[in-house]
Amino acid sequence: MTDHDQEDPSPFDADADALGAEELARKIGQLQREIGQLQEAVISHAVIDQAIGVVISLGGLHPDQGFGVLRTVSQKTNIKLREVAEQIVAWPADQELSPDIRQALETALSQTGSV
């Protein structure tokens, strides 16, 4: 191998390495945010599923009707679906449910043909 076969390091190689590290750090940050969002979505989904179980048990509904009731309660109270679900899941243990959610839940269940 001769001296001509090897390339001299360019002063731009350090910049390329730095840019690569910055890009890698940006990508890692993006992936960490995505992981956090996915973890939150899994937890949220579990809470909503649990609330559907409470609602279908309370109202004697078919499983496919439970989500509709939750969605109606959320819309009528202008409270996020996850927050409604969290309150409904905690309700049996706490024996407390906000009056707005209680009223909307009773109305939604009666309109669904239960209670």
Per-residue model confidence as pLDDT tens digits over 69-95? 999 999 999 999 999 999 999 998 888
pLDDT, tens only, 12-30:
555 556 668 888 888 888 9
- Residue in this structure with the two tokens 């279908």, named with its chain if needed: 56
What residues have CB less than 8 Å from 105, skipping those under 6 apart? Answer: 55, 69, 73, 88, 97
d(CA 64, CA 104): 19
Q: Where are the domains of the chain?
A: 12-112
pLDDT of residue 9 exceeding 80:
no
